[in-house]
Amino acid sequence: MLRSYAQLLRLPNLFTAWADVFLGWLVVGGESDLLVAVLAASSCLYSAGMVLNDYFDAEVDARERPHRPIPSGRVPRWFAGCLGGALLLSGIAAAMFLPAHEATIGFPVGPSLAVAFALALAIVLYDAVFKATLLGPVLMGSCRFLNIVLALCSTGYWPAWRTVWPAFAVGLYIIGVTVFARREAETSRLWPLALATILMALAVALAAAAPVALQQHLGLGAILYPLGLILWGTLIGKPILDAIVEPDPRQVQRAVKTCILGLIGLDALIAFALVGWAGLLIAVLLIPAMTLGRWVYST
């Protein structure tokens, strides 16, 4: 039973959402006593997205993935819907504990709460309406973008446009991953896989330019950061290439899993370039993510 709910929540992937939060929090130099609230809001909203994804996909999963918790009967669909809704509201509620030094849209709503509302809306629109459309990958990328912006707003102020640059890079990367995963339950076509790979490559280029955009002087990092991106790209590039050469579900799902968990490494490298060696500590999140990934599927 516990494993069924861990699968419903995509528990290993939760650490990728945490990596986004740590990246944004480090970039703005957030206060440690606010980190728990940001992590709570991000965790609830991300988990809500995972649960509602399976809730709205129950009929499709019954045909393509009957082993999943809802179509297999291990988790009642009505309960998954209630759980997803409760997590969505809990995420918004957690954002209310973050400071609000700047209001928005004429109401006493701080940036963190406004972003949490926007993230919740993007989650519902993706899961319930636009997932199977061309807008689906854009909405998924927007969710990751907003997850980082949520952390950037943890100081109570809207972030400067330069500090949002890493969020754009991560958002574009997830758009590419989502396009790559669109037909993971069946044999994929070559051109979407190629397009997705190009989008992910452009995201890495944006990440490489982040220190310039934020006017950071890297010192030794000017050498180590590009080398780190090349090494990271090699590690995720191998399963991507394998899936392009042999686009069967097994290869594509393996590549998608690698790309999702690889986001932790990308966040760590960007954080390293922007805040120094402490940013690499984000990579520690790979340990629980990969450990749980042996027990619970990620895609």
pTM strictly above 0.85: yes
Sequence ranges of the domains in the chain: 2-293
Return d(Cα 14, Cα 28) in angstroms, integer.
Answer: 22
pLDDT at 217: 62
Return d(Cα 180, Cα 52) in angstroms, integer.
Answer: 21
Question: Looking at domain 2-293, which of 3.40.50, 1.10.3470, 3.30.70, 1.10.600 is its CATH number?
Answer: 1.10.600
**Tens-binned pLDDT, residue by residue, of the chain (299 aa):** 788 888 899 999 999 999 999 999 999 987 888 899 999 999 999 999 999 999 999 888 888 888 899 999 899 999 999 999 999 999 999 999 988 776 655 556 689 999 999 999 999 999 999 998 999 999 999 999 999 999 999 988 888 878 899 999 999 999 999 999 988 777 778 999 999 999 999 999 999 988 877 766 666 666 888 899 999 999 999 999 999 999 888 999 999 999 999 999 999 999 999 888 899 999 999 999 999 888 877 66
pLDDT at 140: 97
pLDDT at 105: 54
